[in-house]
């Protein structure tokens, strides 16, 4: 399993992801990827300051498991874990939201991104690390390339940062590892994780894309890495000047002060919308 660790070490170096002075917020979902992420980072950078955050989304019958696994792993790794309840910040759980809205995936994603950034700022983190892997990223890139939405695709990078003082840089140290490699890693290392899939179906759409990409990889080995490298090293440099000329002028939300495209950020709008019923 040294292969997996060496690959993460190379990714961290290649994209200058962490520095000694960083205080890294690791987003621990209780799933396999972020479990591997915490374990590998602890091994590669034992001296780096870490904070772990788990967002309890309140998905009935599932969140208890995810939370429990995140707690088990953090205690095994000797790292403190902060658990934040979505309900405390948004006013409702994901299960409650699902009763009122057919599609909960985009508000869930918005709330998770907001909470990670909000707590990162509150706890003095300098960066946020997530467990997005190669298959996750390619599944999203696939849709964006097929739709011709290259300007949106270019935003998907191993390390990103929005131009706002409260927008913490985000890193994806597992971006060059596949689902298969990470599953093997957590199983061999016997790391705690929950295999449960979200019942709201976001993963089922992504899994369809993953199957297409797996099929291509089986006929054309190293397709996945070629796709990722072409995206990062060839397409992105060509298009990023276009992106910067259209760069969003990030403002501060007039309610909470967090980064926002308009006067009021997406999270504050969502809260207001939910309050109105
Ligand atoms: P996903 O979008 O579910 O594939 O998750 C991608 C990454 O986001 C995970 O590997 C975690 O690092 C982070 N993440 C997702 N859900 C949570 C959560 N409930 N709490 C903390 N981090 C999360
Ligand atoms: Zn706001």
Ligand 1 binding pocket, CB closer than 6 Å: 27-29, 33-34, 53-55, 57, 112, 130-132, 136
Q: Report pLDDT digits (tens) over 108-129.
A: 999 999 999 999 999 999 999 9
Q: Which of 55, 187, 59, 185 has the alpha carbon at shortest distance from 130?
A: 55
User: What kind and span of H or E run contains 102?
Assistant: none
Radius of gyration of the chain (CA): 18
Mean pLDDT of 74-79: 96
The 10 Å Cβ neighbour count of residue 71 is 17
CA of 227 to the centre of ligand 2 (A): 36
- Asked if 96 and 60 touch (Cβ cutoff 8 Å), the reply is no
Cα dihedral 113, 118, 119, 125 sign: positive
Number of the ligand closest to the Cα of 37: 1
User: Phi/psi zone of residue 61: left (φ > 0), alpha (ψ -120 to 50 degrees), beta?
Assistant: left
Mean pLDDT of 232-236: 97
To the nearest 10°, the Cα dihedral for 57, 58, 61, 62? 10
Residue 206: pLDDT band by 50, 70, 90 thresholds?
A: confident
* pTM of the predicted protein model: 0.96
Q: Which of 247, 209, 236 has the alpha carbon at shortest distance from 150?
A: 236
Alpha-carbon distance of 50 to 269, in angstroms, equals 31
List the residue whose alpha carbon is closest to atom 4 of ligand 1: 132
Pairing of strands 127-129, 170-171: parallel
The token pair at 274 is 């939910």
- Asked if 91 and 62 touch (Cβ cutoff 8 Å), the reply is no
What pLDDT does 247 receive? 65
CA of 241 to the centre of ligand 1 (A): 30
CA of 60 to the centre of ligand 2 (A): 27
Residues 6+ apart with CB under 8 A from 113: none
Beta partners for 142? none
Beta partners for 170? 128, 160
Number of the ligand closest to the Cα of 166: 2
What pLDDT does 257 receive? 96
Mean pLDDT of 250-274: 94
Q: Report pLDDT digits (tens) over 42-70.
A: 999 999 999 999 999 999 999 999 999 99
Q: Report pLDDT digits (tens) over 175-187.
A: 999 999 999 999 9
Alpha-carbon distance of 71 to 73, in angstroms, equals 5
């Amino acid at each position: 399993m040294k292969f997996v660790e060496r690959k993460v070490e190379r990714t961290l170096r290649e994209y200058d992801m962490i520095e000694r002075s960083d205080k890294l917020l690791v987003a621990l979902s209780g799933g396999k990827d972020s479990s591997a992420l915490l374990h590998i980072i602890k091994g590669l950078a034992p001296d780096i300051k870490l904070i772990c955050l788990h967002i309890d989304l309140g998905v009935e019958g599932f969140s208890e498991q995810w939370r429990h696994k995140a707690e088990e792993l953090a205690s095994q790794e000797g790292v403190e874990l902060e658990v934040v309840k979505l309900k405390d910040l948004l006013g409702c759980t994901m299960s409650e939201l699902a009763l009122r809205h057919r599609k909960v995936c985009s508000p869930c994603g918005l709330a998770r991104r907001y909470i990670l950034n909000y707590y990162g700022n509150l706890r003095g983190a300098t960066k946020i690390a997530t467990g997005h892997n190669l298959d996750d990223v390619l599944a999203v890139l696939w849709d964006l390339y097929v739709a011709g939405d290259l300007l949106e695709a270019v935003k998907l990078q191993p390390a990103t940062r929005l131009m706002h003082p409260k927008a913490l840089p985000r890193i994806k140290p597992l971006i060059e590892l596949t689902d298969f490699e990470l599953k093997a890693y957590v199983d061999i290392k016997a790391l705690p994780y929950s295999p449960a899939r979200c019942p709201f179906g976001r993963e089922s759409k992504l899994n369809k894309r993953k199957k297409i990409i797996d099929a291509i990889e089986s006929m054309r080995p190293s397709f996945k890495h070629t796709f990722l490298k072409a995206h990062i090293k060839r397409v992105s440099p060509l298009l990023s000047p276009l992106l910067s000329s259209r760069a969003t002028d990030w403002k501060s939300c007039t309610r909470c002060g967090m980064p926002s495209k308009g006067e009021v950020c997406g999270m504050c709008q969502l809260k207001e919308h939910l309050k109105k019923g």
